[in-house]
Structure 1
């Protein structure tokens, strides 16, 4: 019998190419290579826990959620460094770098004593400390190694069609890590306590990659951020559909849903002031970081402390072959300053900017899967085809910024002002890179047009906070929803012709109904948005064997009031009218909104 030697090579040593071991991209209807890769790693790793020498002092800390560190050894895969016995390792060099950054401004001499100092003659004087890295304290690190990322910004904000997919990352989940430090000089207990306090301050800033998304945070008060670093903190509770892990389908509540929401809203809002895509993206990266070019470290980091996490399975959805898991959570969301900020004005502006972005996201939408829709299980419980929507609210009444429809208008204006103040605070080097080009006439005209002269304008985005491109409507509700009636009204369901991804026009379902004959009895106007470009649709067959998913143009929020108004809601509708003259559904819905009497315009209309 002939044995194919190539097939006997472990995944870890194969070329990362198609049909050999393509690790990053995940394809439908095909078992990912990453599963076999991690199974082989787990099976062949040494069962003995790495032990530090007796001269090394150690302490153990538990990862709050996940920690991502990039070995840099695989071109397309983010995974930890693999150390002794095949165990994942936080290298000593990474440990030392984090330790150095944790010193306060008046601790330069102590930093140089512990970590070393560069001398004038290009020489280096070593410090007294040696950093031995960090290993897992037990074998539980093998659980749930495969993490997923879903790049969504392009289709969430810019484009009409949902695209892209999931990418795999290997990260450590809720693992205890034992870190080791030794000294070339004898030190007493007091000094060792000082050293560990500095290390805990380093851990409080987050360790590894994607700290701004909630990764790399540790449990315990000892590693909590300094109060002076906290920009904005708020207590929330929410419910919705839980995402699941790749391998076993286990539900997992992911704290990075908060960063994803705020980053997307910041992009929409920056796009309201600047003309070019590059410039808006650059402004977002000043806050949240980015990987373009040489990469940018963002100014803010996310820390989410879960107070409760309840999961429940529901099996009555006819459109889902498997039970659906819902989450019901309470948490404290904390935005903190990641690096030291030298710009005094930006340091003053940043807390208010993060507060307004958080309030903007809470009031007009939500967080996580299906954030554009109100939770159907609450407001339309008879609908049982697919799980749709989420519902978030403040825990503390003092955090509630909204009590009336007029407050919504005020909040949007305040958020826009915070966005503009941040643009205005950018250093001269930033403005020099981006030529003067503003959509809104503001004196002085500071920015922004990319030197790259890209063709993409923010006005081409599907969702952008520019005059004439967005309308916000609202009404007071006692728990009933008008918008959900519009979204599920099939009475005038017929085909609409709109531009599609592959051709200039195709028959589409769900456009405006034909004119009613004059002899027919009068009927009140209807929204007619069911499965249209306004509401969006999933897997719509636009041609034989061609299915299409289109992102809609509306956000729907049932915002709960508190205090004396508990039990009442502000039903809010955010609509991004299409600039395409042939989008009949968008034009018809815009006319419908202008003529109906139940919702009043709050922002952007007229």
Structure 2
């Protein structure tokens, strides 16, 4: 018999050896990306969809009788179960007919945990867990059977998801040209469902009353409030948030460059809020203690994979009220964009003692305000949105983002950042909040020995400069990013510029400068001896600098010392 040429190509990706040249599902091949070829994981997803069968469940109502019931829940964003991996690629559990499902075993485990918490809280009678799920000896089985859940809407769109961890590159690495040397900092693929409607099924070995079924579904309702599946703390698997666990909730709106999926389409990803707060927590703790302690504190808050792994205390939810996706650019340069407005919700994954609950509530609040005041969220968050603040119409690149508060915000926090002169006090209060949390965790702040990171938030490593801008046309520093900030004074002297230096960075290199146009929305004026807020179109223009020893940086700092256009040093710059 003649061998079949390239026989391995006839084998579905799901069953190929996970090696280069055969199938690497989690790996994003930069050469294929450059040449416009499909990645292995895209072929995997297409082959899966092609062979999967579809059960027409969409128009069926949830079943209700005394021994079997179903309830349907809508996942807000993406969802992925925690069972089933191929060579490190996370993917949904796949059941009969090729349909993804949430396993009944996972459902039972999550239900029992919530049931035990309800027993401890006294909201249900004792021994309910043993009645429903069986005792721990497995001698007496429970009366409930958990069938799990299947999606009942179209689950086949945008299955291929991307994860791109950048914590080391964004915060720690002194020379960001060496990103290729950092382990775990490259994009990798996973497969998740976008906004599936999941129908959950529970049956009973004996008839139950309406009141009993109501109690069972209330327990399940409390279960899913904590999130389902994996990557819950990053916003996956969220259905709705238990109001009793909310630490801080605020309405925001923003615009910027959308995340690009593996097929080139854009997507607004709520994970940008978690990435921002995690990064800022790392910077702040890094300025208060050594690197290992700072990393441990951040993993306690947001979760991590060090050691046996940590489930974080914080969970993110984002309720999108309005979203418009678009594109920017032409003539071969097109980037996906977003305009979004919604509620950012941070909540607890488990109960805490009252003193720690209050301290964490303050910390989360301060982290959100810190992120909003000094930068933004998502791609290019270190820059103000050039579409709003750069006057040169010929500039064709999409750079920066712009975020602001939407709706009513709490006056207490807004008052803390009402002008450039209040920024120093605001920063110190944020650091005090972080210190309070540290001490409650048994960690003593050691600000004289900060982490040796590029962006540790320590007065010897960072400088914050600021000024008032009457409107967006009065943005000053954005010109300095692209043109000389100072002409040569004497004959033969070169113009001074920070463009394409370590100050601003360039393609493949993160700079050491953040530029933000923060819109406070209100000014406070005295009326009859009391401070009253009035609306304003002003901006607080801020430059956050992490100086190195380059001559360009030294020259730029000397220039700022002259207080150009009203810029003043607001915080930091201490030896």
Instruction: Note whether the superposition's TM-score is higher than 0.5.
Output: yes
* Maintained 8 Å contact 2:83/2:92: yes
Match of 2:314 among 294, 300, 304: 300
Match of 1:415 in 2: 430
- What is the rounded CA distance, in whole Å, between the counterparts of 1:328 and 1:146 in structure 2? 23
- Equivalent residue of 1:117, what SS? coil
Match of 1:241 in 2: 257
Match of 1:559 in 2: 518
- Equivalent residue of 1:305, what SS? strand
- What is the rounded CA distance, in whole Å, between the counterparts of 2:347 and 2:283 in structure 1? 22
In structure 1, list runs of 5 or more residues that go unmatched: 219-223, 442-456, 493-512, 539-548
Match of 1:541 in 2: none
The alignment status of 1:69 with 2:81, answered yes or no, reads: yes
Following superposition, the deviation at residue 522 of structure 1 comes to 9.1
- What is the rounded CA distance, in whole Å, between the counterparts of 1:333 and 1:229 in structure 2? 14
Q: Deviations over 1:272-304 (max 9, x none)?
A: 1112x2221111011100111211000010110
In structure 2, list runs of 5 or more residues that go unmatched: 33-37, 180-184, 523-533
* Maintained 8 Å contact 1:365/1:372: yes
- What is the rounded CA distance, in whole Å, between the counterparts of 1:296 and 1:324 in structure 2? 36
- Equivalent residue of 2:561, what SS? helix
Match of 2:451 in 1: 458
The TM-score normalised by the length of structure 1 is: 0.83
Q: Deviations over 1:570-598 (max 9, x none)?
A: 001100011xx4x2222222222223342
Match of 1:486 among 457, 460, 480: 480
Following superposition, the deviation at residue 391 of structure 1 comes to 0.6
- What is the rounded CA distance, in whole Å, between the counterparts of 2:560 and 2:485 in structure 1? 18
Match of 1:337 in 2: 348
* Maintained 8 Å contact 2:328/2:398: no
The alignment status of 1:528 with 2:520, answered yes or no, reads: no
Match of 1:46 in 2: 53
* Maintained 8 Å contact 1:475/1:572: yes
Match of 1:468 in 2: 460
- What is the rounded CA distance, in whole Å, between the counterparts of 1:41 and 1:418 in structure 2? 49
The alignment status of 1:89 with 2:101, answered yes or no, reads: yes
Match of 1:327 in 2: 338
Q: Deviations over 1:140-159 (max 9, x none)?
A: 11111001011111111011
Following superposition, the deviation at residue 406 of structure 1 comes to 2.3
| Aligned CA distance change for structure 1 residues 418 and 124 (closer, same or farther; 3 Å) | farther
The alignment status of 1:217 with 2:247, answered yes or no, reads: no
- Equivalent residue of 2:31, what SS? coil
Match of 1:571 in 2: 541
| Aligned CA distance change for structure 1 residues 437 and 603 (closer, same or farther; 3 Å) | closer
- What is the rounded CA distance, in whole Å, between the counterparts of 2:555 and 2:382 in structure 1? 21
CA RMSD of aligned residues (A): 2.4
* Maintained 8 Å contact 2:318/2:342: yes
- Equivalent residue of 2:45, what SS? helix
- What is the rounded CA distance, in whole Å, between the counterparts of 2:521 and 2:8 in structure 1? 65
- What is the rounded CA distance, in whole Å, between the counterparts of 1:11 and 1:101 in structure 2? 37
Match of 1:403 in 2: 418
Q: Deviations over 1:471-526 (max 9, x none)?
A: 0010000221221111011588xxxxxxxxxxxxxxxxxxxx9x865xx2999xx7
Match of 1:594 in 2: 561
* Maintained 8 Å contact 1:397/1:562: no
Following superposition, the deviation at residue 56 of structure 1 comes to 3.5
The TM-score normalised by the length of structure 2 is: 0.87
Match of 2:202 among 172, 181, 190: 181
Q: Deviations over 1:511-570 (max 9, x none)?
A: xx9x865xx2999xx7621111000001xxxxxxxxxx2110011000113133521100
- Equivalent residue of 2:398, what SS? coil
* Maintained 8 Å contact 1:238/1:392: yes
The alignment status of 1:361 with 2:363, answered yes or no, reads: no
The alignment status of 1:310 with 2:312, answered yes or no, reads: no
- Number of residue pairs aligned between Structure 1 and Structure 2: 530
- What is the rounded CA distance, in whole Å, between the counterparts of 1:149 and 1:171 in structure 2? 11
Match of 2:182 in 1: none
Match of 1:603 in 2: 571
